[in-house]
């Protein structure tokens, strides 16, 4: 196999790859940014097809990649733009279900290898859930390799019809210097004051305001915390279709919860938090879970999806949908500083077992080499 550091094996031109993103959630976008930088450093030509706002937020061009703006849509115009961008690619790598489906449409009739990474399973209810399952089958059957970020996603891909499904190494960069150490301690009182949480614990949840995130369960649990003294503040960073519904409940039930909207300072929010909460139905490599352990913030999460595989014994896990268990576990941690310190130490050890960015890039590049080594590259 070609060494990962060799940009032009056997005298061939550099490998040309296209990375396809949809709306780009935080995990997949951060992964593509890291992957692009690592591939470019190894002599690979990288083009990222993603909406304008994704490049603005994650600066793929700053990582050395070319950026082609492609809307998060499967309409003929968007698919045609993607097809043009992939015309001279040696390999296409799509991230997420919707981006993968667009890549399948764009590559129709072409022999270009397609790698698909599933970062999380897309959740839906009713007729849309049936449609999504059809898209999953279409995508995995067209993909040369499906990479799942957790074992349950790999198993799902195999059951859905994937010819080759593997566990992916996916890293999320550690906390930025400003989000840890002395700078974090200096900023902590100011951030807590801005949240209205001076003298009270802060419980932080991060993620889009959608049904599968479990925020209805989190609000149920918040009832129990109103009896504590001082009353903890639950801060939820994220935006989405459930905002009005959640806000009505917060006001009608007088819950100690604040919806912060979309934030670009999650690192600082985490550094100011006493606990991180992840009440969702199921995530694979949750960005919040990884950032919390990196930042030494005790985590309470649901034992669903790939969370247990990700965090091991470095977090408190509760059943999904069990508001009483969530409320009790959080209260217990708030009353047990020794257990919190134990979780911080376990979190540091667990984070050290996760793949580094270099290891992630090396694994992905080995898959690329495997799929393209027998195919002559055009200059």
Q: Which of 307, 297, 309 lies closest to 346 in space, CA to CA?
A: 297
Does the pLDDT of residue 182 top 70, yes or no? no
The answer to whether residues 54 and 115 belong to one domain is: yes
What are the DSSP calls for 258-273, one per residue?
A: EEEES-S-HHHHHHH-
- Domain membership of residue 115 (yes or no) is yes
Does the pLDDT of residue 151 top 50, yes or no? yes
Residue 2 banded pLDDT, cuts 50, 70, 90:
very low
- Cα gap 215→254, rounded to integer Å: 16
> Which pLDDT value is given to residue 227?
94
- Domain membership of residue 2 (yes or no) is no
- Domain membership of residue 4 (yes or no) is no
The answer to whether residues 189 and 163 belong to one domain is: no
- Residues pairing with 237 in the sheet: 206, 261
Give the number of residues written for the chain: 379
Residues 30-65 have pLDDT tens digits of 899 999 999 999 999 999 999 988 888 899 999 999
Residue found by looking up tokens 């031109």 in the block: 13
Q: Which of 351, 241, 224 lies closest to 285 in space, CA to CA?
A: 351
The answer to whether residues 347 and 234 belong to one domain is: yes
Q: Decide: helix, strand or coil at residue 123.
A: coil
> What is the residue range of 55's domain?
9-171+356-372
Does the pLDDT of residue 77 top 70, yes or no? yes
- Cα gap 372→311, rounded to integer Å: 35
Task: Give the relative orientation of helices 287-294 and 337-351 as an angle to the nearest 10 degrees.
Answer: 110
The answer to whether residues 267 and 366 belong to one domain is: no
- For residues 91-102, average pLDDT: 94
- Cα gap 297→180, rounded to integer Å: 11
The answer to whether residues 150 and 36 belong to one domain is: yes
Does the pLDDT of residue 269 top 80, yes or no? yes
Residue 173 banded pLDDT, cuts 50, 70, 90:
low
- Cα gap 321→220, rounded to integer Å: 10
> Which pLDDT value is given to residue 185?
72
Residue 187 banded pLDDT, cuts 50, 70, 90:
confident
Q: Which of 175, 170, 153, 167 lies closest to 34 in space, CA to CA?
A: 170
Q: Which of 74, 87, 91 lies closest to 372 in space, CA to CA?
A: 91
- Domain membership of residue 378 (yes or no) is no
Residue 4 banded pLDDT, cuts 50, 70, 90:
very low
Q: Which of 268, 270, 265, 288 lies closest to 278 in space, CA to CA?
A: 288
CATH number at residue 200: 3.40.50.2000
Does the pLDDT of residue 349 top 90, yes or no? yes
pTM: 0.85
- Domain membership of residue 257 (yes or no) is yes
Q: What are phi and psi of 316, to 5 degrees?
A: -90, 125
The answer to whether residues 242 and 341 belong to one domain is: yes
- Domain membership of residue 3 (yes or no) is no
Does the pLDDT of residue 167 top 70, yes or no? yes
For residue 132, the surrounding DSSP H or E stretch is helix 127-142
- Cα gap 287→54, rounded to integer Å: 17
Q: Are 118 and 79 in contact (CB under 8 A)?
A: no
Q: Are 350 and 289 in contact (CB under 8 A)?
A: no
The answer to whether residues 142 and 185 belong to one domain is: no
Residues 283-311 have pLDDT tens digits of 778 889 999 999 999 999 999 878 999 99
> Which pLDDT value is given to residue 71?
86
The total domain count for the chain is: 2
Token pair for residue 211? 């049904």
- For residues 240-259, average pLDDT: 97
- Domain membership of residue 379 (yes or no) is no
- Domain membership of residue 204 (yes or no) is yes
Residue 1 banded pLDDT, cuts 50, 70, 90:
very low
Strands in the chain per DSSP E: 16-21, 45-50, 66-69, 91-95, 114-118, 145-148, 165-167, 202-206, 233-237, 257-261, 275-278, 299-302, 316-318
Does the pLDDT of residue 320 top 70, yes or no? yes
- For residues 13-42, average pLDDT: 89
- For residues 223-228, average pLDDT: 96
- Cα gap 138→161, rounded to integer Å: 9
The answer to whether residues 220 and 160 belong to one domain is: no
Residues 118-142 have pLDDT tens digits of 988 877 777 888 888 899 999 999 9
The answer to whether residues 152 and 301 belong to one domain is: no
The answer to whether residues 200 and 316 belong to one domain is: yes
Q: Are 233 and 200 in contact (CB under 8 A)?
A: yes
Q: Are 178 and 184 in contact (CB under 8 A)?
A: yes
Residue found by looking up tokens 């015309």 in the block: 87
Q: Which of 310, 111, 272, 133 lies closest to 196 in space, CA to CA?
A: 272
Q: Decide: helix, strand or coil at residue 116.
A: strand
Percent of the chain with pLDDT over 70: 91
The answer to whether residues 305 and 365 belong to one domain is: no
The answer to whether residues 185 and 240 belong to one domain is: yes
Does the pLDDT of residue 225 top 90, yes or no? yes
Mean pLDDT of the chain: 90
Residue 178 banded pLDDT, cuts 50, 70, 90:
very low
């Amino acid at each position: 196999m070609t060494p990962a550091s060799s940009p032009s094996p056997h005298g061939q031109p550099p490998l040309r790859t296209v990375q396809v993103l949809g709306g780009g959630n935080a995990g997949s976008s951060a992964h593509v940014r890291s992957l692009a930088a690592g591939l470019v450093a190894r002599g690979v030509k990288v083009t990222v097809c993603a909406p304008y706002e994704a490049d603005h937020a994650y600066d793929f061009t700053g990582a050395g990649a070319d950026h082609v703006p492609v809307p998060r849509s499967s309409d003929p115009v968007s698919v045609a733009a993607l097809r043009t961008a992939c015309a001279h690619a040696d390999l296409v790598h799509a991230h997420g279900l919707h981006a993968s489906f667009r890549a399948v449409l764009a590559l129709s009739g072409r022999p270009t290898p397609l790698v698909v990474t599933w970062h999380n399973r897309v959740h839906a209810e009713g007729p849309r859930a049936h449609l999504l399952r059809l898209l999953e089958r279409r995508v995995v059957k067209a993909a040369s390799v499906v990479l799942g970020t957790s074992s349950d996603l790999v198993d799902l891909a195999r059951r859905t019809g994937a010819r080759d499904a593997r566990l992916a190494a996916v890293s999320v960069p550690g906390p930025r210097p400003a989000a840890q150490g002395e700078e974090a301690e200096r900023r902590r009182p100011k951030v807590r004051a801005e949240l209205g949480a001076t003298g009270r614990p802060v419980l932080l949840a991060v993620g889009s305001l959608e049904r599968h995130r479990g925020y209805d369960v989190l609000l149920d649990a918040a009832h129990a915390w109103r009896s504590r003294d001082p009353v903890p503040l639950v801060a939820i960073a994220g935006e989405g279709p459930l905002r009005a519904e959640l806000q009505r409940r917060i006001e009608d039930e007088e819950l100690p919860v604040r919806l912060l909207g979309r934030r670009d300072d999650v690192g600082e929010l985490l550094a100011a938090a006493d606990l991180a909460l992840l009440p969702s139905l199921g995530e694979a490599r949750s960005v919040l879970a990884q950032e919390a352990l990196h930042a030494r913030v005790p985590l309470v999460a649901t034992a669903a999806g790939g969370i247990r595989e990700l965090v091991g014994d470095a977090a408190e896990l509760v059943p999904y949908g069990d508001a009483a268990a969530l409320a009790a576990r959080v209260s217990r941690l708030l009353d047990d500083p020794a257990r919190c310190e134990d979780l911080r130490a376990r979190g540091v050890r667990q984070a050290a077992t996760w793949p580094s960015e270099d290891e992630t890039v090396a694994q992905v590049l080995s898959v690329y080499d495997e799929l393209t080594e027998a195919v002559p590259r055009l200059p």
